[in-house]
Amino acid sequence: MKICCFGANSAIAKHIVYEYADSSPEVILVGRDQQKLDVEAQHLKARYSCKTQVFSCDFTNTEKTIEVCKTLKDIDVFIIAHGYLGSQDEAQNNHSELQKIIDVNYTSYAHLLEEVGRIVDMQQFGKTIVIGSVAGDRGRQSNYIYGSSKGAIELYVQGIQHRFAHNPKIHFLLAKPGFVDTPMTKDFPKGPLWAKPKAVAKLMVQGLNKNKRVVYTPKFWFLIMTLIKWCPFFVFKKTKL
Amino acid sequence: MNFKVLKPYPSWGHYPPTRAQSAYVLEPPVTLPNTDSSMLPRGLGRSYGDSCLNESGVLLDTKELYHFFDFSEGVLEVESGVSLEEILNFAVPRGYFLPVTPGTKFVTVGGAIANDVHGKNHHVAGNFGNHVLELTLLRSNGELVTCSPSQNTELFQATIGGLGLTGLIVSAKVRLKKINSSYIDQEVIKYKNLGEFFELSSETGHEYTVAWIDCFASQNNLGKGLFIRGNHSTQKLALDVHPNNKKTIPLNFPSWSLNYLSVKAFNTLYYNQQLKKQSSGVVGYDPFFYPLDKINHWNRIYGKPGFFQYQCVVPKAQSHEQMQKILKLISKSGIGSFLVVLKMFGDYKKQGLLSFPEEGATLAMDFPNQGEKVLGLMTALDELVLECGGKVYPAKDARLSKQSFHQMYPEFERFKAFIDPNFSSNYLRRML
């Protein structure tokens, strides 16, 4: 088995890889921070006897991203998991922050999805987990810049799912995690809605194995987001969400 | 630098009472935060007392330091946040086992070293620190120091059992033990009094020994209990990792639920669960070493006030006589628990300056926090322990007096020189 992980330093991505790791797959780690990728690669080798390969790549650098993708073949599972939460407040006043949030969370995903689409089309097999977010389900004042990027990914993934719908060996899953206790969210006060990356990763892999198109992780987010999505605007506008 | 107060970081005994604390989550490659307040490494928080608290400073949370570096010829090199559970999951299928394990697998390698933990095989294998070949220590001045029995020896000895105060243990090399079976051939012997316990303890041929005792038994039955001993199985040769079907205690029990009658009833039932004098069988490593790990948050049965754990060791020469005095005092007090453990430590040279185990008898038990009454009892026990040159275990302590501590650990004066100037803990401040 061969896994390719974009955003390999993200906590959720690592835990998705661990879900497969007991069978000692070959793992290709692609991410920005080379030093952290090396620690991860060494861990996969020592703990799980995986063969590993590391590419350092900033996904906002499209050329470099495409160059890395050109070297990939025979990949069974892709994981696209990088992300940048950014600051909504700052992005409202600073266009470079706004740009960065959209570039990392949407533009780079579009390029990567197209490359992954090309690869699976060539191979005629391959499953992909794309990390979206519950934040993409409805625009809210507290994080609509990040949220809209994640929402846009959903449309993109829908299109790709449509494109490969005829081939049962090709599958794309959009995973929508809620609050996850990861280094990306380490400055947030945690509460009962928070989940551990391991639990979230497990649900994503289960979803992929069942060929689901969308999974909310944990599942209760489906309920919460249904309520938020269908909340009439005259009520919604009174909330601070 | 500002630190977010993420969540309360309690000690396992919930005493002193839990307050929110500042914490900093470390990630590899590890650097320490730039701060003026004191730091203390924090693993899985299984220390019972205040050695894992640092209320005026910052906790260095090691949960993200879970990486394995290398495994060859039985030597495992891992980051300090790796849990013993994770090591077992890795090592058992490969025919290896922890060289020494405490009564829970939910502790980190860093914690096992910093408390120089011991287990049921102390008499043949010593402490965890005896199997640490090398460790990497990050000091607050940014220096990364490699310590081993032959390199930076003194700092190494101060760090083993050093309660996390000599700097952050980043990684360690530990020699694992080769096994042919992850099952244990176990014998349980029902014995009637302390004398029989010491006789059983003097028998050789068992790698793991421990006794559960009924702390309410008195007079001729003082110290009666179940003597449990075992070896890695020769009957069932399999290297299985045990499945994890845990039960959780969801809430704190009301504090009245554990009382003299309920505990006495439990003890009587537990002692008499076995009718025969001796029984034997093959059990997995999990029920043998970690019976309490089956129950998540078992500490909640003590309710909100929490509990104290008291573990002492008395030297071999006086162990019978002194243990008798100790058990009499506990039995008379009527305060007791259902988990009282007695074991003989062996004559094994320890690595750490502040390591707890000494050759002799060690007794460990829980006391529900009933305020003055139980504090008074423990102070009286301290006197009996001191009288014969014994010690109390810092990893489990939340109330020992400074004076008694210094009498029990004269090496503390030498240890002080190795404390990192920017590291501290509630425990250290209590003892300085």
Contacts of B6 in chain A (CB under 8 A): 186, 189-190
A63 part of contact set with chain B, CB < 8 Å:
no
pLDDT value for A105: 97
Q: What is the mean pLDDT of residues A177-184?
A: 88
A191 part of contact set with chain B, CB < 8 Å:
no
Give the gap in angstroms from C-alpha B178 to the nearest C-alpha of chain A: 18
> Where are chain B's structural domains?
68-179, 183-399
List the single residue in A35, A189, A190 with the smallest CB-CB distance to B29.
Answer: A35
List the single residue in A35, A36, A47 with the smallest CB-CB distance to B68.
Answer: A47
Give the gap in angstroms from C-alpha A26 to the nearest C-alpha of chain B: 17
As a whole number of angstroms, the distance between CA A146 and CA A202 comes to 25
pLDDT value for B1: 47
Residue recorded with tokens 């259902």 = B338
CATH second-level architecture of B68-179? 2-Layer Sandwich (3.30)
Query: What part of B 37-66 touches A (C-beta under 8 Å)?
Result: 64, 66
CATH fold label, B183-399:
Alpha-Beta Plaits (3.30.70)
Contacts of A42 in chain B (CB under 8 A): 67-70
Q: What count of residues does chain A have?
A: 241
- C-alpha distances out from residue B227 to B224, B282, B292, B315, B322, Å: 9, 16, 18, 20, 20
pLDDT 10s digits, A97-116: 999 999 999 999 999 999 99
As a whole number of angstroms, the distance between CA A10 and CA A17 comes to 11
Nearest CA in chain A to B68: A43
| Residue B79, SS3 per DSSP | strand
CB B307 within 8 A of CB B335: no
As a whole number of angstroms, the distance between CA B291 and CA B283 comes to 11
- Cβ separation A36–B29 shorter than 8 A: yes
pLDDT 10s digits, A73-89: 999 999 999 999 999 99
Cis peptide before B29 (omega within 30 of 0): yes
One-letter-per-residue 3-state SS of B96-132: EECCCCCCCCCCEHHHHHHCCCCCCCHHHHCCHHHHE
Q: Where are the beta strands (DSSP E) in A191-237?
A: 214-217
pLDDT tens, residue order, chain B (432 aa): 445 555 678 888 888 887 778 889 899 999 999 999 999 999 999 999 999 999 989 999 999 999 999 999 999 999 999 999 999 999 999 999 999 999 999 999 999 999 999 999 999 999 999 999 999 999 999 999 999 999 999 999 999 999 999 999 999 999 999 999 999 999 999 999 999 999 999 999 999 999 999 988 888 999 999 999 999 999 999 999 986 667 777 777 776 777 777 788 888 888 887 778 889 999 999 999 998 888 888 888 888 888 999 999 999 999 999 999 999 999 999 887 878 999 999 999 999 999 999 999 999 999 999 899 999 999 999 999 999 999 999 999 999 999 999 999 999 999 999 999 999 999 999 999
CB A184 within 8 A of CB A144: no
pLDDT value for B242: 80
As a whole number of angstroms, the distance between CA A68 and CA B265 comes to 68
CATH fold label, A2-236:
Rossmann fold (3.40.50)
Tell me which H or E stretch contains B229: strand B225-232
pLDDT value for B7: 64
Nearest C-alpha neighbor of A110 from the set A94, A130, A95, A96: A130
- Cβ separation B27–A183 shorter than 8 A: yes
pLDDT value for A234: 95
CB B96 within 8 A of CB B118: no
